[in-house]
Structure 1
Amino acid sequence: MSKPVPEQHRHLRTFTFGDSPALAGELLELVIKGVKTATCSTEDESNTSTPGERWVVLDGRGEPRCVIETIEITYRRFNDVDAAFAYDEGEGDRSLAYWRNAHRTYFGRLGRYSENMILMCERFRLIEVFGD
């Protein structure tokens, strides 16, 4: 990493959204703009969080860009994700239909998609954006 994580955040775990540098950058920008305030992952991924935990979010080049804090964790099946959560994920037109199509494709690329899969659904708040 060419930009160091600010001293007060160096103890935090790091996280990158998505599964490619381009997607990581796109989703990170939604977070920084305040549009994306939620994310989800499969229940067995290593990035599981707890309310109150803070993370340094990296961009697609691995550069630290901001800190987020988990405020809520719920577990639900893919088909039980509701329109409010889809909206908070902030992607596309923010509809449940868009969310389902995008996440079916995403989890399919990972070889993990199932309509009954359990997701860790996380809501978070933006704590700090690092300057350039």
Structure 2
Amino acid sequence: MTGPHALKPFLLAFPGPLRDRLVAAVLSGEKTATTGLLLEYEAEKEELPEVGERSALIDSDGREVAVVEITEVQVLPLRDADLRLALAEGEGYRSVAEWRAGHENFWHGEEMREALGDPGFVVDGDTMLVVEWFRVVEVLREA
């Protein structure tokens, strides 16, 4: 999607095996939601996504593999994450506790702490999240 009507990138995790798994889950229809930290948006001075917005799903090689459309956006504290979200993440979580443990592991990882500029960053129940619900509107290439 290059040119004057280029779509902004839809990035999941950091490039590597996790992103590859998440992109595959989006393309298979298993993943219909993703969760980020509100702090990430603030640190990058990025506006929150809006319903109807379309973005290009990017794989680990930087290729556009699909166009996704935002169907719902929620801003909520971590403690309010529910089973609907855990299941929609498409990562095989069977409970909110599993989902939270997996996400805390990611958010407490070195790459995330470096991206946030805070080597001691820790989430808790009050940490604000941005949940994006989406659907694939066009597959551009298989991941």
2:100 equivalent to 1:100: yes
Q: Which runs of 4+ in 1 moved over 4 A?
A: none
Aligned-residue offset at 1:114: 1.4
**Equivalent in the alignment of 1:40:** 35
Alignment of 1:1-132 (within 5 A): 5=1, 10-44=5-39, 45=41, 46=46, 48-109=48-109, 110-111=112-113, 112-115=121-124, 116-131=126-141
**TM-score for both structures, normalised by structure 2:** 0.80
CA deviation digits over 1:73-125, x for unaligned, max 9? 11111111001111111112343222111100111112343111100111111
Structure 2 unaligned runs (5+)?
A: 114-120
Structure 1 unaligned runs (5+)?
A: none
Q: Percent identity?
A: 29
Query: What is the CA RMSD across the aligned residues, in angstroms?
Result: 2.0
When structure 1 is superposed on structure 2, of 11-20 and 39-48 the one drifting more is 39-48
Task: Tell me the matched-pair count.
Answer: 127
The answer to whether the Cα contact below 8 Å between 2:86 and 2:93 also exists between their aligned partners in 1 is no
Aligned-residue offset at 1:42: 1.0
CA distance in 2 between partners of 1:88 and 1:38 (Å): 5
Aligned-residue offset at 1:28: 0.4
The answer to whether the Cα contact below 8 Å between 1:52 and 1:71 also exists between their aligned partners in 2 is yes
The answer to whether the Cα contact below 8 Å between 2:15 and 2:59 also exists between their aligned partners in 1 is no
The answer to whether the Cα contact below 8 Å between 1:39 and 1:121 also exists between their aligned partners in 2 is yes
